[in-house]
Each structure stands twice: as C-alpha cells, then as structure tokens.
Structure 1
Amino acid sequence: MGRTRYEATEIETRKLLTMHGGFHHRASTLRLYTRRNEGGQGLMSVRATVQDKTTKIQENVRKMAPKGELLSEYLRQQKPDDAEEEEEEPSWRDKPPHGMYHRQIEVADSKKSYQWLEKAGLKDSTEALITAAQEQALSTRSIEAGIYHTRQDPRCRLCKDTPETVQHIIAGCKMQAGTAYMERHNQVAGMVYRNICTEYGLEVPRSEWKTPPKVV
C-alpha cells in the first residue's frame, strides 16, 4: 500500500470521526495519532499499523529461515531498500497554536496532566471537545480575529474587556466569576469532601451534587 493510499484512508477515517463527534475538524491530526500517555488521543494510523504488521512478519521470517530453504533464499535476495524507512513524525506539541497548552504546563507533571486521557472514560465527543479547546481549535473571537480574520474585535462577548481566548473563557472572565466558576469550584470541593468522609469513616453524601454541611 503506497503513501497516497495510506493518506486517503486516514482522511476518510478522520471524516467519519468528525461526522460522529469524535474529532474536531480544526484539531491537530498529529495529536490524534499520538499515544494517550503522551497527551494524544491514541488512534493507530493505517501506516503505523501496516508497518507494525510488516515488522512482525519480517521478524517471524528471520526466526523461521534456518528451517526452510525458501525463507533463507528470500532473506538472501531481500534488499535493505525493500523495507519502507520509518520517518520521524513532527510533534503536535511544537505546533502553534496546537501546542500552546502543552508548553504552558511544562512546569507541571505532564504524565499526570494527561492521565485523564487514559482513565477518565469520557465520551468521544467530550474528549474531542476538551482536546480541541486545549489546542486553540475552537472558534473564539480571539481566534476569529487573529487567525481566521473573519472579525475585527477579539474582545470577549460577555465582559467586552479582554481578548476572548479559551483560557479567558475557562478562568478569566469577570462576568462568570460568581456563577460558572463558583459552581465548578464547589463541585471540585465536593469531591474532596466526599473523599475525606470516606477516608475517616464519616457519612458520605449519597448524591454527588448534594451541598455538604458547613461543619462536620
């Protein structure tokens, strides 16, 4: 299978993923094929699959060659150039703006930062939305003004004060400080509370959304 057929198959695969919400059309294709423990979505590419199977077949042939004249002759006539050389792929982390999030968290524990990709068990659509947000692939006003050039004003549609980036929407908009951000904070604190209750044998709230008492 030639490279053109590899690429055509992978393009069709990404189209299907996009149609069903498993991949954002502006997200990084490099990250899509990166292992989950390295911050990617872990999809095995057609090319990598073929290369892996080819390598295993060649290893098996070398192992069995001493037992058969035909395999020995095959190895003797095989040229080094017959095997497709594996090229080093560029990393999504080096791509602006896709790698901006990773570069910002370099001071943190990268392995733990990407642990959710392996253990969270999210829906494909939810995972695709989160990774697209991390890669600056969502159409915020800042992206529309600075990259797509489809608008002139990059300011936030709520506070109308700061450029509307993903980071600003998630944690920097003063209009959401007392509502969405507070609700998110309380949900995280509620999980900490439940874990403490479990650790020390206290009564654990039945519902994850139940507001804990002020003093326990």
Structure 2
Amino acid sequence: MVRGESYKYLGFRQLTGIRHSDIKTELRDKFLSRVNCVLRTFLNAGNKVRAINTFAVPLLTFSFGVVKWSKTDLEDLERRMRKAFKEAGMHHPQSALERVSLPRKDGGLGIVDISALCVAQVRQLREYFAERANQNALYRAVCAADRGYSALHLAQAEYQLNCNLQTVEEKIAAWKQKAVHGAHPHQLDRPHVDKAASNLWLTRGELSSVVEADMIAIQDRIMPTRNCRRYVWHQDVDDICRMCHQPGENIEHIMGGCPVLANAAYTERHNNVARIVHRQLALQCALLEDNVPNYRYLPAPVLENDRFKLYWDRTVLTDLSIHHNRPDIMVYDKSDRKVTIIDVAIPLNQNLEETHGRKICKYRPLAVELKELWGLREVPRIVPVVLSGTGIVPKTLLEALKVLNMEKELAGIQKSVILSTCAIVRQFLGQD
C-alpha cells in the first residue's frame, strides 16, 4: 500500500482511523444524488417519498453509529434535501418545516426524520454494547477504551447526541403554534371534522408532487397572494384583489370568495364533484351502460328506466311557489315511491358545519311539497355532499356517502376538489 493511501473496510475508507470528514462528504453527495434521481422521475408524490425513504435514506443509515455525524451535519443534510425538493417543485420554501418529516396520516410529507433516525441508531448500538459488556470481558474493554474514538462514545455513560429531537406530537404542537401555518391543523382538530379522511389524499399519495406541494402551501396559507405579501412578507404592495378589485386578496378569497370566479371556476369545481355522484347513482340504478371515466362523464338532464328516474340540475315544478326548487341531483324510486335530494357544496374550511345545515334548511320546503305532490310514502331525504376547498372532510360527508352507498368514492371526490382548487389558485396568481 502507498504511504498515506486509505483502504476500504466494511464500506468505509480508513487508514489508522476512519476519515469521518471525507466519508460524510461522500455520503452526502451520494445521498443527494439519489434524492435528485428520484425527483427527476415521473412517479406520483407518494411513490417519490417511498423511493427516497427506501433508496436514499438507507445509504446514510449504514453510517449512523460508525461515522461521527454532528447536529450541524445532520441539519445541513436536511436543508440540502429540502432545497432539492424546492427546485423539483415538491416543497414550497415557505411551508411549515414540521410537515416534511411528519407522517402522511398526520398531514406531512412522510420523509424519514434523518436526525431522529441517527439518534435512535446510536442509542440502540450503545444499549447493545452496554448489555454485552455485562456478559463479556472483551466488550467491557472496548467500552472502557472508547473515549471519543467512535461515534458511540461508549466510555461516557450519559452521552447523548446533541440533536433537538421532536416527537410527532411535539411537531404537530409546534405546527399549531405558528400564526400563519397553524390554521390548518386547528381546523383538522375541530369536532365535526374527520382527520383521517381529510388526510386521505396524502396517505394515498396519488397526486403529482407539484400539485401536492401547491395544496400544502395553500393549507399553510403561504401562497403569494397580495395579502400574504403585504402582511406576512412585509412587501410594499396593495392587497386589492386583482380580479374583482375588492380589498382582502387572501387565500380564502381566491378559493371561494371572489365574485369574478363564482360563475366559472367555482361552478366547474362544484360540477366536477356532482358529476362523480351522478355517475355513481346512474350505475347503481342501472341507468348507465358505458362505465366512462369521471372526467369524461357528461350527465343527461334526465335518465329513466322502469324503476328509477334520475334528474340532473332540473327545476322541479310545484303548485306552491318555492324559491329553492333546483337541486343538483334528485333520485326518484318509482317502486318504493321515495325521493332523495342531493346537493353539493365546496365551502371554505370555517363554513363546513354551517353549509351542511343551510343545505338541509334550503331544500326542506321542496321536500315537504314533493311528498304531497308526487304521493310519496315519506318526506324526501335531503343529502348534502359538503367538503372544503382544501379537501377537509366533515363527518357529515362520510354519513352522506354511506347513505348513497358510495363510500369508496371519497378519495375520488377529494382528489377532484384538490385538483380544481390548485388550478384555481394557480391560474389566479398567474394573472400578475
């Protein structure tokens, strides 16, 4: 061997000792190379996260407990990884950092927490050596001799790797405490919201990484609206809406409060959900022969067979003058003489509970009148299909889908709303 030349043993370059600095640089470059390799693929967001966790992170895991990783090294590595996510459009730079390593079921991206993984592995190795030292003299000698020679520091009984680790609960608490980002997790904790269903789009991971990053940024309320730029980023801009020219161009205004978008973008988002419901009802009632995809389905005003009659956005003629007589969907079961009135709404997060109650009150007069007019056995059932523009699912939506026997359509409905909301926000902000 040439003097000063290192050799590889168990995957690490070393000579009289392990060259920690060189190895960390090499591992960091290889890790980021693998991360970028995954980000360049056309995988959906969920599969990209799984690929990073199984293809890139294990490259580092092998070194934990052997190579001396400091808190600064690990933070720098995570920062470089987030930068790669930003450049690939997978993570908005202003989104809550806690969400990167939070599990998807809790509203995060689901990336493995590298610092926590390092600390856990060091702790496990130290526990292993401590246990073996009680049984074997060789292990006792190794532990006594390791005074900082290895990353384990076995001679120091109270040694702890200097990393500020947070549990999942602590990360969620820190996320909630943020003035701007914290609105969304507080919404998820409201009693009428189903948190697991609201995060279904994340756990399934079927959206593209760009759409997923946009929706997380929308939920964190850090999209570059004029209100955000003025009051959060302290830029010298007016917060007048660029479309309707009214004050208060915040993310809520864009998603559901701009009158210019009401008859086009909001209606299209609403109809996308209504089409999914109508198509499933048509299939259940044997009114539809071709099982066309949701995005190609165009509902007919009236579908009818020997037993069912299905209405789409039709005015119901009544003897009395009823103001709200045009529900989105209505199903008439001729044999049982029953009617179900279905109406769809995509309100803002804070209006979920109120919207559900308002829909029932809105169509109650029509339901009472139909019972007498059509000779029904009972007052028609009113089923509001309501979820927020950011995909938050109230418990009443799960009950409504259960009544309609289409629980499996929740993911499709939520996905449709999220895609539409992201498109609305993206097109709106592109007007500058």
Tell me how far 1:17 sits from its aligned partner.
0.8
Question: Equivalent of 1:212, from 276, 280, 299?
Answer: 299
Q: Give a deviation string over 1:23-47, Cα, whole Å, max 9, x none.
A: 1111111111111111111111321
Give the deviation of 1:175 after TM superposition: 0.7
Separation of aligned partners in 1, 2:158 and 2:117: 20
Cα deviation digits, residues 82-130 of structure 1 (max 9, x gap) = 1337643542222110111222343212222112111141111111111
Moved more, 115-124 or 104-113: 104-113
2:180 corresponds to 1:112: no
**Aligned: 1:130 with 2:215:** yes
- Matched-pair contact (CA < 8 Å) for 1:141–1:151: no
Is 2:41 aligned against 1:41?
no
SS of match in other structure, 1:192: helix
Matched to 1:123, the amino acid is: S
Match of 2:74 in 1: 6
Q: Identify unmatched segments of 5+ residues in structure 1.
A: none
Q: Equivalents in 1 of 2:250, 2:230: separation in Å?
A: 11
* Residues 54-77 of structure 1 deviation map (CA, whole Å, 9 limit, x = unaligned): 344345546656664333566786
Name the structure, 1 or 2, with higher relative contact order (CA <8 Å, separation 6+): 1
- Distance (Å, rounded) in 1 between the aligned partners of 2:225 and 2:234: 12
Instruction: Note closer, same or farther for the CA distance 1:180–1:73 as it changes in structure 2 (3 Å cut).
Output: same
The structure richer in strand per residue is 2
Residue 82 (structure 1) aligned to one of 150, 159, 166:
159
CA gap 1:163/1:80 in 2 versus in 1, 3 angstroms? farther
The 2-side partners of 1:39 and 1:198 are apart by 33
Match of 1:31 among 58, 81, 99: 99
User: Could you tell me which amino acid in structure 2 is paired with residue 206 of structure 1?
Assistant: V
Corresponding residue for 1:167?
A: 252
TM-score w.r.t. structure 1 length?
0.87
Flag the structure with larger Rg. 2
Q: 1:205 touches 1:212 (CA, 8 Å); kept in 2? A: no
Provide the secondary structure at the position in 2 that maps to 1:175.
helix
Q: How many residues align?
A: 216
State the Cα distance separating 1:22 from its structure 2 match.
0.9
Which position in structure 1 is the counterpart of 2:183?
100
Q: Deviations over 1:114-151 (max 9, x none)?
A: 12111141111111111011111211010111122223
The answer for unaligned runs of 5 or more in structure 2 is 1-68, 145-153, 304-432
Q: For 2:232, what is the secondary structure of its paired residue?
A: helix
Matched residues, percent identical? 26
Deviations 1:153-191 (A, max 9, x none): 212111111411111111111111110000011111111
CA RMSD of superposed structures (Å): 2.5
Residues 2-11 or 106-115, more deviating: 106-115
Q: Give every structure 1 segment of 4 or more consecutive aligned residues whose post-TM-superposition deviation is greater than 6 Å.
A: none
Look up the equivalent residue of 1:212 and give its one-letter code: P
